[in-house]
């Protein structure tokens, strides 16, 4: 076969359908676009799909070129729904509220509002992914026009179908082209998710395999439990911390991000229920909660969720031999403190002995320093007619060693401070 010569005239006598250079370039482009997907853990992508499944508006924040648009394109393909992209910054406010058109008799029929073609297409399809791109470059007047679209899914008199999901993308103001801060009312309508690149995902994706986006699998039998858990988590926090119900940030920049309000707490409750029913990881839930009410309130809520997952001290005292203590040090400390508090509230010999047995298990399966404070407190609860259990001897060495280590650390810190002086 003769070698191919670039830009040579095709031999039409031998090939009735000549191949041009643009055809060959198209073939090459097709090969470059020929990629596949694979199931791969991706916390950011899982958080996005969970919020989309919960029918909550999502705002992806990320630097230019990070892959926000590509993630939405792949998500729409995975969900088998049409993707409608609207560049918010190049539209007028009337594009989202409708243009008035004078009819035959305005006095009798009123003035109808003409709707944008993309909205009509979504209504006809009955489902789809509406992608509001470049949101941070939209001027305040356009942001105001988007309020009803994002919250109520209405454009003029047109109601978008329930099968339409809304996802927006924005660049930080520092890297946006003529960017604006988001208005507080618009920002409070979104679940804010940070989009960053994962080195391994990018390298494998450029090699032809990207992570696969898929809606979370919700366990039907867990739905009532998930709703009860979410309501209890949010209500217990807000009952204890009423100031967190509504906190409008003082700075303009923070107002353009997630912050707590009754609306964002309702969104948070919904996300906790979906994450619980889907069995999502705590990392995914952390992204969603902090992206809805902000870092401070979100972290308080997550800490409350951890405490809700802790075993009941009474259950542990009833069966210390079969007790399963948390692996995380802070959670284990909280459990042991709860056990000692339960014994203090109802001091009985059998409960006191069971608490010592639990402390022994804690030393055998974890760091000994975690039992120092509970053991010291538990010892003060002893009654005169209670014999000292043999298990205390097993704790004595660990507690003593832990104390000596703490004292040595304190002496070293003091010596270092003196040297710096």
Query: DSSP characters for 202-226?
Result: HHHHHTTEEEPP------GGGHHHH
Quote the radius of gyration of the chain (alpha carbons, Å). Answer: 30
Question: Which residues have C-beta within 8 Å of that of residue 135, sequence separation ≥ 6?
Answer: 59, 88, 89, 143, 146, 168, 169, 170, 182
* pLDDT value for 16: 57
C-alpha closest to that of 59 among 261, 257, 213? 257
Question: Which residues have C-beta within 8 Å of that of residue 382, sequence separation ≥ 6?
Answer: 352, 388
C-alpha closest to that of 216 among 273, 280, 262, 260? 280
* pLDDT value for 262: 96
CATH no. of 37-101+112-211: 3.40.50.300
**Phi, psi for residue 346 in degrees, rounded to 5:** -140, 80
Q: For residue range 71-97, what is the model confidence (pLDDT) as tens digits?
A: 888 888 888 889 999 988 888 888 787
Tell me the two tokens of residue 198.
Answer: 């994962």
**Phi, psi for residue 9 in degrees, rounded to 5:** -65, 135
* pLDDT value for 244: 94
**Phi, psi for residue 25 in degrees, rounded to 5:** -60, -40
* pLDDT value for 89: 80
| Cα–Cα distance measured from residue 12 to residue 283, given in angstroms and rounded to the nearest whole number | 62
Those residues of the chain that have pLDDT short of 50 are 1-10, 12, 401-409
* pLDDT value for 401: 43
Domain ranges of the chain: 37-101+112-211, 220-308, 313-420
Sign of CA dihedral 135, 62, 189, 54: positive
| Cα–Cα distance measured from residue 395 to residue 379, given in angstroms and rounded to the nearest whole number | 12
* pLDDT value for 396: 63
* % residues pLDDT > 70 (the chain): 84
* % residues pLDDT > 90 (the chain): 30
């Amino acid at each position: 076969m003769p070698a191919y010569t670039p830009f040579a005239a095709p031999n039409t006598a031998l090939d009735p359908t000549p191949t041009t250079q643009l055809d060959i370039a198209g073939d090459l482009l097709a090969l470059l676009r020929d990629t596949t997907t694979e199931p791969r853990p991706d916390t950011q992508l899982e958080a996005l799909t969970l919020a989309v499944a919960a029918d909550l508006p999502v705002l992806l924040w990320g630097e230019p070129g990070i892959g926000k648009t590509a993630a939405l394109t792949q998500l729409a393909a995975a969900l088998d729904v049409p993707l409608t992209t609207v560049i918010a910054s190049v539209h007028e406010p009337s594009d989202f509220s409708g243009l008035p058109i004078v009819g035959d008799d305005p006095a009798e029929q009123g003035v109808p509002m003409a709707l944008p073609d993309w909205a009509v297409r979504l209504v006809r399809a009955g489902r789809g992914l509406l992608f509001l791109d470049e949101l941070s470059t939209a001027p305040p007047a356009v942001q105001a026009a988007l309020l009803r679209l994002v919250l109520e899914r209405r454009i003029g008199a047109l109601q978008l179908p329930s099968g339409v999901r809304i996802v927006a993308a924005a660049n930080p103001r520092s890297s946006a082209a003529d960017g604006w801060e988001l208005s507080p009312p618009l920002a409070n309508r979104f679940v804010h998710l940070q989009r960053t690149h994962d080195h391994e995902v990018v390298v494998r994706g450029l090699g032809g395999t990207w992570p696969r986006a898929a809606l979370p699998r919700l366990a039907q039998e867990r739905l009532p439990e998930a709703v009860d858990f979410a309501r209890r988590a949010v209500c217990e926090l807000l009952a204890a911390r009423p100031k967190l119900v509504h906190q409008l940030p003082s700075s303009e920049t923070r107002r353009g991000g997630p912050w707590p309000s009754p609306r964002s707490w309702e969104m948070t409750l919904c996300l906790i229920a979906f994450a619980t029913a889907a069995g999502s990881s705590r990392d995914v839930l952390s992204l969603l909660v902090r992206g809805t009410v902000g870092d401070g309130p979100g972290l308080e809520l997550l800490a409350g969720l951890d405490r809700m997952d802790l075993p009941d001290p009474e259950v542990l005292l009833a069966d210390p031999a079969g007790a399963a203590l948390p692996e995380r040090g802070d959670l284990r400390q909280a459990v042991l403190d709860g056990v000692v508090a339960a014994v203090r509230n109802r001091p009985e010999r059998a409960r006191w002995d069971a608490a010592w047995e639990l402390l022994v298990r804690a030393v055998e399966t974890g760091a000994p320093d975690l039992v120092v404070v509970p053991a010291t407190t538990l010892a003060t609860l002893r009654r005169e007619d209670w014999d000292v259990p043999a298990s205390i001897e097993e704790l004595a060495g660990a507690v003593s060693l832990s104390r000596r280590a703490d004292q040595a650390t304190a002496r070293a810190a003091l010596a270092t401070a003196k040297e710096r002086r």
